[in-house]
Copies of this chain bind each other. A is one copy, B any other.
Amino acid sequence: MRAVAGAAFYAPVDAELRELERRLLDVGRGAHPTFQAAVEHLFSSPGKLLRPTLVFLSARFGTRPDREVVLNLAESLELVHTASLVHDDIVDRADMRRNVPTVNAMWSDDAALIVGDYLFAKAYALAAVLPKPEVIAIVAQTVFALCDGELNEVTMERSLPTESAYLERIELKTASLYAACCQGAALLTDADPEHVAALGAFGTNLGLAFQITDDILDVAGDDRDFGKTVGRDLAEGMPTLPMIYAVMEQDGHGGELAHRIVATDKTEAEVRDLLAVIRRGGGVARARERALAFHDAAMKALDALPDRPEREALRDVADFVVSRVR
C-alpha cells in the first residue's frame, strides 16, 4: 500500500487490495489510447484506497462472502469515485490532485469529460452484473447523491451556508459513497440486517468525519502545503465548517467575514490573511469537535458487530481519518 505505508488496517485485506490495483490498471484495456493512458495515469498512484478497504473489511461480516462479487463492487465504487474526481477537477479548474497533474491538465477539459464518462460507464457495467438488485440500486443512488452534491456546489449562491446545509452537502458528496462501500458490501454478502445497518451508519459517520477533517486541513494544515491542500477552499470561495463556525463566533458582526470568505477573486495575500483570521478564532477547534463527534458515532455503530480483527481494522480506519495531519 502506498500513501499510508504500513497502516495496520490494510493487513486483513491486503490480497484483495493487490488484486483490485491490478484490475484498476487494466480498466483501459482494448479502449481508446487516450483512455488507456488516462487510466494508467490515474491508477499508477492509486492513493489511499480507503473506500475499497472499507468494502473488503465490511464484506467480512457477511454470511456468504464471495470474493469475486465483492471485488466487482469495490472496483465499481472506486471507479465511481475516480470518475467524479475527474469531472470535479474540470469544474474546479484544478491542475493538481495529491501532487499529481489532473486529467484535464494533462490532456484537456474535453478529454477529461469523456474519460470521466468512460469511467462511470465501466463502473456501471461492473455494478450491473452484481447478483443483488438492491446493491445495484445503492451504486446508482450514490451517483445521484454525488451529482446532487456537485450541482449544489455549482449552483450555490454566493453566501455562507448554514451548518445544516453544509452537512447536507458533504453527506451527498462524500459520506454517501463511504456508506455505499460499507453497507453495499454487507448486503452483497448476506450479512445480518442489524450488521448491514451498523455498517451503513459507520460509513456515513466516517464519511462526515473524513470530509470535515479534510476541510479543517484546508484551513489549518501545514503552510508548506499552501496552494496545494491548504487554502484551496478559500481561494475558490468554497465555504466549509471551520469558516462557518468562525463567522458564527462573531455574533452579528460576521457579515463582512462571510462576504470575504465566499468571494472568488481573491489574491494570494487575501487568502493568507483570511486563513490567519480564521485560525485565530475558535472555529477550527469547534469543527474538530464536530469531526470527533462523527468519529465517535462511527465507533459506536461498530459495537453492533461481532468482535473480529476486521472490526478492529475498521476502528483503525476511523482513527486514521480524524488523525491525519495532511
Seen from chain A, the residues whose Cβ lies within 8 Å of a Cβ on chain B are: 31-32, 34-35, 84, 87, 90-91, 107-108, 110-111, 113-118, 120-121, 124-125, 127-129, 133, 136-137, 140, 143-144, 146-148, 150-152, 154-155
Whether A91 lies near B110 (C-beta < 8 A) is: yes
Q: Distance (Å) between the CB of A150 and the closest chain B CB?
A: 5
Whether B137 lies near A125 (C-beta < 8 A) is: yes
Whether A136 lies near B129 (C-beta < 8 A) is: yes
Point out the residues of chain B lying under 8 angstroms from A110, CB to CB: 90-91, 154
Residue of B nearest to A113 (CB): B87
Chain A to chain B: the 9 pairs with minimum beta-carbon distance, closest first:
A124-B124, A125-B140, A121-B143, A32-B151, A128-B128, A118-B147, A91-B110, A110-B154, A128-B136
Whether A31 lies near B128 (C-beta < 8 A) is: no
Q: Which residue of B113, B125, B151 contacts A35 across the interface (Cβ within 8 Å)?
A: B151
The A interface, classified by DSSP as helix, strand, loop or mixed, is helix
Point out the residues of chain B lying under 8 angstroms from A143, CB to CB: 117, 121
Q: Distance (Å) between the CB of A300 and the closest chain B CB?
A: 31
Point out the residues of chain B lying under 8 angstroms from A87, CB to CB: 113-114, 117
Q: Distance (Å) between the CB of A219 and the closest chain B CB?
A: 24
Whether B113 lies near A152 (C-beta < 8 A) is: no
Q: Distance (Å) between the CB of A108 and the closest chain B CB?
A: 7
Q: Distance (Å) between the CB of A81 and the closest chain B CB?
A: 13
Given A136-B128, A147-B121, A114 and B35 touching (CB < 8 A)? no
CA of A148 to CA of B148, assembled, Å: 27
Q: Distance (Å) between the CB of A261 and the closest chain B CB?
A: 20
Point out the residues of chain B lying under 8 angstroms from A116, CB to CB: 117
Q: Distance (Å) between the CB of A83 and the closest chain B CB?
A: 8
CA of A121 to CA of B144, assembled, Å: 7
Whether B147 lies near A124 (C-beta < 8 A) is: no
Point out the residues of chain B lying under 8 angstroms from A125, CB to CB: 136-137, 140
Given A114-B87, A117-B120, A124-B128, A35 and B136 touching (CB < 8 A)? no
Q: Distance (Å) between the CB of A33 and the closest chain B CB?
A: 8
Given A32-B147, A147-B117, A129 and B133 touching (CB < 8 A)? yes
Q: Which of A91, A114, A140, A154 has the most CB of B within 10 A?
A: A114
> What would 20 more interface pairs be, CB under 8 Å, given A34-B154, A110-B154, A124-B140?
A31-B144, A31-B147, A31-B148, A32-B147, A87-B113, A87-B117, A91-B110, A91-B113, A91-B114, A107-B155, A114-B151, A117-B120, A117-B146, A118-B144, A120-B121, A124-B128, A125-B140, A127-B128, A128-B128, A128-B136
